[in-house]
Structure 1
Amino acid sequence: MTSWLTLSLRLLLSWMYVTRGEFVERPRDDSLRSVAEEETVLPCRFQPTDSVVVQVTWFKQTSDGWEQIITAHRVDGQTAFGTWSGRVRFKSSNPTVDSSLVVLSTEVSDEGRYKCHVNSYPFGTFDQEVTLTVWTIPISSLDAVTVVEGQSYRQAASCRSLARPPPLLSWDTELSGQSVNRSWENGAVTAHYSLHPLRSMNGKKLDCLVWHPTLTGPRRHQNQLVVHFPPDSEVSGYSGDWYVGLERAALSCVSGGNPRPQLFTWARLGEALPEGAIPHPNGTLEFGRPLSLSDGGTYRCVAKNDVGVGAAELQISVTEFPERQTTTTEKTLMVVVGVVAGGLLILMLIIIITVTCHQKKKNKMLTRELTEKKEEISTLSRQASFRRMNSVSTDARGATEESIPLRVDGTLSSLGGTRLPPHVPTPSPILQSGELLGQTDEGASRSASATVSPRHSSRRSYPPVTHDDDGDEEDDDDDDEVDEGLGGRASREHPDDRESQSSRSQASEAHSAGYRVTNGTVRFKPGTNPTVVSPHASLVHKAQIV
């Protein structure tokens, strides 16, 4: 029974909302988010159906119930209550039409649940609730800590932030250290960065970044680490060129300590500072007079700051005469000469390389041409040789003696001009072959060999041989001798044969003195030796090519 009653009531209320009116522009999930110290609008707009809105009232939920904030009557106007007075108002000048509530300066304490209560006539009241969440913009700070070189591991910077919801803190740095973060219930967060201090860390970036939903990006707190360290002194102003009479000579004590040194002390080891040497508070030792030989020595500079001291020494030598220094013009000239020399060297190398490549190319072309010429000459030589072998020449004088076979054709004029008879048998002691030597007027020697064979002898016809009373043979036709092989008379013989006729005559006389003819056979005379033919004598053999 009770369940049916509850269901009927819900249906009635739904019917009333649908038929009697409804709230429009409702917030999503009935929740809003706002930022402290900014204006906040709580939406509430009711559209009635066949009814009239008489009064609108806003409430805030507390631990004791609902606290009334402000009300607006159709006839009596607006009224704010308690501490809300002056802090809230309706958004529209006609609250019965648009009942949205405006909180002028939102506070963290304003966070909670609110209700918009609408009274209509004649259909009663209608309610709409909304939850407000208030965020705060982070309030953050960075505290830098000055550290000293050589100290133990310690805190170098601290970053704090407070906001709703709690923010997130981080560090942007390249230093080698470690961060420790802490948070509290009120939304406060802290971050401490610790490291081992070194002078190389001085001035390095150590920024704190604050991240929060109310910010479009991280909020950066810039910071540079400060590390104090003792001075590191150095003496400058002397480059080994001091001489007697030099004016305005000075030494400077340069130091890189942190903080910068404020006290400088000058001294000369083993003796006092020379007269006229004036120390200045900025660390300069100035010679107020021209230098002398006594100004030499070892000078010491001591710099002091709040952390410690630093000292530096320098040996000073003063010469009698100034050393010649190379001027800027001379240096420039030397550089120009060096550049020109280098350019010429590079140009020479380029020319040499170019000429060498050209010569190599030319030599290759000449070698190729020479090879082609050799091949051409070799080809022509082989062709000429083939033509000589395949051709038949009838001119014996146009061939070499080694390549022309010879045979005796004629009479052997070796025995005083007598001719051998035909068909003469040749026993073993008889001369069958002879070596014919010839020599020209210039002293050149010629030789040939001819072999007399019986077959060849049978083919030849010799003139008759006549004998005188002394048994010698005579040739009546010496002047009319004909060369059958060459087809002409003796007067048509080779010019060399004609030039050596006198030599052949002498050789014939020498042979005729040692030989005789018996029954057609040439024999040695008893008691005589064969006559040796002089090498300068010429024996003429008439031959023809076989």
Structure 2
Amino acid sequence: MTRVLIRLALSLCALQISGVGADFSDVPPGDAVRSLAEDETVLPCVYNPTKEQTIVQVTWSKEQDDGTKQQIIMVHHLDGQTASGEWSRRVRFKNSDPTKDSSLVITSTELRDSGHYSCQVSTFPQGNFEKEMDLTVWTDPISSLEPVVLVEGKYGVAATCRSTALPTPQLSWDTELSGLSTNRTSDNGVVTSQFSLYPLRSMNHKRLDCLVWHSSYKGPKRLSNRLLVHYPPHAEITGFKQDWFLGLEKAQLKCVSGGNPPPRYTWLRDGKAVPDGAVPQLDGTLLFERPLMVSDSGMYQCVAQNLIDVGKAEVNVTIEEKQVWPMESMLMVVVGAAAGGLLLLMLIVIVSVTCHHKNRNKKLKRELTEKKQEITTLSRQASIRRMNSVSTDARGATEENIPLRVEGTLRTSLSSLGVSPYVTVNM
């Protein structure tokens, strides 16, 4: 009996040995696993036994708040698998042979699954080896952005951004607008950020984006938004330039107005309805669908109204019995006529100068031709005389000097024509 007890005690001691000579692979960094709610989670546990070891049993358990361990699933090399309670619908072993790969799979992870887990591998003859790890379950942020319509000149909150997740996300704003952001976190893990500013109409439709930062994101998630600013209209009438006359067709007055939201337009004449044939358009135009009559004259008023305020503008319209050229048109006609006259005068001067030079050149060319012919004739006569002369008297010598006189006459003629006297003339 004593020997039996001793053997039983030794066996129990052997089974209580934990972690000595353990060889686990595929261990998560820092013994921690992170997962997202509703995703599949794998808790790794792969034990590599020696040749002398045989894996007899694998048990997964989770530590409770009171420090006790709740068994999740167990597999015995002879009796098979057993899952406990509610875990049976959500857990399984990753491998069909859990003695080779004892990793645990949680098919649909829940927030309550966060906690401390242990994988215990029972071997023969060395005993038990255990691997512990922590599971942290995150949730994807649920975020929203609520814009606020501001009225020009009234300080207030322009937009509110909210987000909730595990771990708690962070919020920031991406905008060029000058404003103040305030952040706060509630007890239920919801973080809220508000952006406040003093609105101007120039800020309308400017970018005001909320950025959500979370550990499950590689970068910030952007919630796009544009600032909305309402401001009153400012009416102004265009289209009339003191040039309307009896019978003018397609005359129209245009009411130009800003304002956000876009205003509605109303037209009046002398505080009453506009005359028949003058039809208001949705874009603020008052269109006369018939030729103008003298009775259409009067004080026309445009009223532009939106949710913020009312804008008004007036113009006194007079209808002339005959067409009157406005000062601007007359001035343009005078300037155009002056420019045309100046252009015509320049053209006449240019043509006159050109014709004068052409006539002068023709006259000079004709005179030069006549002189050349005259000189050529004189030269021939002198040459004939020289050839026929056989006398050696003084009179003959005088005739031989005739070419010299001809040459002098030629120089004198060329000089009178404005040609250099030293130009060689081919005889």
Give the TM-score, by structure 1 length: 0.54
Task: Report the alpha carbon displacement of residue 13 of structure 1 after superposing the two structures with TM.
Answer: 5.7
What residue is the counterpart of 1:97 in the other structure?
100
What residue is the counterpart of 1:82 in the other structure?
85
Q: Which runs of 5+ in 1 are unaligned?
A: 1-8, 342-546
What residue is the counterpart of 2:307 in the other structure?
306
What residue is the counterpart of 1:358 in the other structure?
none
- Structure 1 residues 22 and 150, CA, compared in 2 at 3 Å: closer, same or farther? closer
Task: Report the alpha carbon displacement of residue 179 of structure 1 after superposing the two structures with TM.
Answer: 0.4
- Counterparts of residues 348-359 of structure 1 (less than 5 Å): none
Question: For 2:47 and 2:283, how far apart are their aligned partners in 1?
Answer: 82
| Number of aligned residues | 322
- Counterparts of residues 360-399 of structure 1 (less than 5 Å): none
Find out whether 1:113 has 2:100 as its counterpart: no
What residue is the counterpart of 1:70 in the other structure?
73
Q: Which runs of 5+ in 2 are unaligned?
A: 1-12, 347-427
Question: For 2:186 and 2:267, how far apart are their aligned partners in 1?
Answer: 58
Question: For 1:165 and 1:109, how far apart are their aligned partners in 2?
Answer: 14
Asked if structure 1 preserves the Cα contact closer than 8 Å seen for 2:93 and 2:102, the reply is yes
Q: Deviations over 1:88-143 (max 9, x none)?
A: 11111100111011111222211111001112223322211111122222111001
2:167 partner letter: P
2:139 partner letter: T
What residue is the counterpart of 1:35 in the other structure?
36
Greater than 6 Å deviation, 4+ residue runs:
none
What residue is the counterpart of 2:287 in the other structure?
286
Alignment RMSD: 3.1
Find out whether 1:178 has 2:171 as its counterpart: no
SS at match of 2:222: strand
Q: Deviations over 1:24-75 (max 9, x none)?
A: 2222222222222222111111122212111111000012310111111212
- Structure 1 residues 23 and 313, CA, compared in 2 at 3 Å: closer, same or farther? same
1:255 partner letter: S
Find the structure with the greater CA-based Rg.
Answer: 1
2:162 partner letter: R
Asked if structure 1 preserves the Cα contact closer than 8 Å seen for 2:17 and 2:129, the reply is no
Question: For 1:44 and 1:61, how far apart are their aligned partners in 2?
Answer: 17
| Worse-superposed segment, 280-289 or 107-116 | 280-289
- Structure 1 residues 211 and 55, CA, compared in 2 at 3 Å: closer, same or farther? same
Q: Deviations over 1:347-383 (max 9, x none)?
A: xxxxxxxxxxxxxxxxxxxxxxxxxxxxxxxxxxxxx
- Structure 1 residues 237 and 131, CA, compared in 2 at 3 Å: closer, same or farther? same
SS at match of 1:29: helix
Percent of matched pairs sharing the same residue: 53
1:211 partner letter: W
SS at match of 1:85: helix
What residue is the counterpart of 2:151 in the other structure?
148
Find out whether 1:165 has 2:167 as its counterpart: yes
Could you say which structure has the higher helix fraction?
2
Find out whether 1:124 has 2:127 as its counterpart: yes
- Counterparts of residues 339-488 of structure 1 (less than 5 Å): none
SS at match of 1:95: coil
- Structure 1 residues 271 and 157, CA, compared in 2 at 3 Å: closer, same or farther? closer
What residue is the counterpart of 1:316 in the other structure?
317
Give the TM-score, by structure 2 length: 0.68
Question: For 1:296 and 1:191, how far apart are their aligned partners in 2?
Answer: 59
Task: Report the alpha carbon displacement of residue 149 of structure 1 after superposing the two structures with TM.
Answer: 2.2
